[in-house]
Amino acid sequence: MASATPVGTTAPSNTPPAGATPPASSTQHGNRAHSDGGWALVPVQTRSERFTSTNPADFAEVTGFESEWKLTPLKLVLPLINEPLDGSPYEIVASGAPAEWIARNDTRIGSTGTPEEKASANAWASFEKALLVTLSSDEHVDVTVSRSELGTAARAAHTVIDAKPNSVSTVVLQNNGAALLSENVEIIVGDGAQLTLVTVQEWDDDAVHLASHFATVGRDARFRHIVVSLGGKVIRLNPSTHLVSSGADAELFGLYFADAGQHIEQRVYVEHVAEHTKSRVNYKGALNGEGARTVWVGDVLIGSHAAGTDTYEQNRNLVLSEGTRADSIPNLEIETGDILGAGHASATGRFDDEQLFYLQARGITEREARRLVVLGFLSEIVQKVDPGALKDRLKVAIEVELAGVSVSEEGAA
């Protein structure tokens, strides 16, 4: 299957280092570097032209002023960016499909993408073996891969999910316990395959988790990517999906609940490479408590050969108390005029007074009314999860989060 590794640019020096993706050209949209020596590099103009490398030494020192890091609590994640990482295999519990450790030189590794930032590159350079999950059944199978024994030492991980052509499956990546983890997850969705990938973050309160997901979606294949982030001190999960063949279809959903002092960040990228492809992005989150912080950045790129593209992305945030902050930044780039449709939306707000009045007028207490409103707001994403034990458990987990929201904390409606 064809792969779509993002084309790099703006290396730390004028000559790209070894192992890095070279610039596609010396110009970007007609712009050139100044010839008087004032500028050595042209700023990146297009999402797909970011510099990429699997070698962390190829990236400049992270200062926190970079666009990809300026919204992240840098002090808490620096060990995963700059320090050595333990990349040895770890304990997992897997069911539903074969899961095995494979060598770094396996041809599937690196077939879906390349790190765009230093933490991802550090993890890539550090892992000893990758965890491979192979999906081949043309009848639907449910697969679960759980880990809860990573410990507090700085770790690297690499996972490859290979959905063979015409396979049908749901894979759940369940994360619990302590963690100081940077990882890369590669997802290969073969021609005609149907894959739902659900990643659930229910880490301990002091856990730090950085993850980059890279997916390629083949001809007439359907890929559903669902992120559920509830527990952890810092969660930063960046999914990139490349629709590389005609008829590819991707849906990316996210649900998150940030408590006091918790940082949850998602940077979503969808690239329409081939013609007649479709994507939908919908992330919804709630924030409650002093210092609760969420970041959502959504990038959609419709390439010059992606005629007939149909895409829409949106992010919604519900603020439950004072002292919270939600950053929401949708971006859309279109390089061809021959598309079916494209759009984006973003909104952050408090409770709807009319909804609360309607419920209270029917004898429901204010506290219960607020709980029902939040539950209804988030349940749209839960409904995207296939019916079963996970869906029921996520409903319970959200109820537990809501149980900690008191009327006095919620502020004015």
The phi-psi region of residue 66 (left if phi > 0; otherwise alpha if psi is between -120 and 50; otherwise beta) is: beta
Strand-strand pairing, 93-95 and 99-103: unpaired
Report d(CA 169, CA 310) in Å as an integer. 25
Q: How far apart are CA 56 and CA 115, in angstroms?
A: 9
Identify whether the C-beta of residue 217 lies closer than 8 Å to the C-beta of residue 248: yes
Closest-CA residue to 283 (of 271, 270, 296) = 296
Which pLDDT score, from 0 to 100, does residue 20 have? 52
Mean pLDDT, 10 residues at a time, over the chain (413 residues)?
37 41 43 46 73 97 95 98 98 96 98 97 98 97 96 98 98 97 98 97 97 98 97 98 98 96 98 98 96 98 97 96 95 95 94 76 82 87 84 86 59 36
- Asked if residue 194 belongs to a domain, the reply is yes
pTM for this one?
0.87
Helix (H), strand (E), coil (C) string for 65-129:
CCCCCCCCCHHHHHHHHHCCCECCCCCCEEECCCEEEEECCCCCCCCCCCCCCHHHHHHHHHCCE
Pairing of strands 325-334, 263-272: unpaired
Dump pLDDT digits (tens) for 180-229: 999 999 999 999 999 999 999 999 999 999 999 999 999 999 999 999 99
- The verdict on residue 241 lying in a domain is yes
Spell out the residues 6+ positions from residue 100 whose beta carbon is closer than 8 angstroms to its own.
Answer: 131, 132
Token reading at 12? 């730390």
Residue 339's pLDDT is what? 96
Separation between Cα atoms, residue 251 and residue 240, nearest integer Å: 12
Give CA separation, 212 vs 84, 123, 200, 230, 363, in Å.
18, 10, 14, 18, 47
Q: What is the pLDDT of residue 405?
A: 64
User: What local confidence, expressed as pLDDT, does residue 33 receive?
Assistant: 44
Sheet with 234-243, strands from edge to edge, namely: 99-103, 129-135, 154-163, 180-189, 208-217, 234-243, 263-272, 293-302, 325-334
Residue 8 falls inside a structural domain: no
Full DSSP string of 330-387? EEEEE--S--SEEEEEEEEE---HHHHHHHHTTT--HHHHHHHHHHHHHHHHHTTSPS
Q: 56 lies in a domain?
A: no
Determine, yes or no, domain membership for 61.
Answer: no
Q: Has residue 60 been placed in a domain? A: no
Task: Say if residues 273 and 304 touch (Cβ distance below 8 Å).
Answer: no
Burial class of residue 44 (count of CB atoms within 10 Å of its CB; 0-12, 13-18, 19+): middle
- Total domains present in the chain: 1
Token pair, residue 87, equals 């990349």
Do residues 247 and 220 make contact, with C-beta atoms less than 8 angstroms apart?
yes
pLDDT at residue 43, rounded to an integer: 58
The predicted structure's pLDDT at residue 1? 40
32 falls within a domain: no
pLDDT at 42: 55
Q: Which domain, by its residues, includes 251?
A: 72-352
Structure confidence at residue 355 (pLDDT): 75
Q: Is 25 exposed, middle or buried (0-12, 13-18, 19+ CB in 10 A)?
A: exposed
Please name the residues in contact with 105: beta carbons below 8 A apart, sequence gap of 6 or more: none
Query: Does 304 reside within a domain?
Result: yes
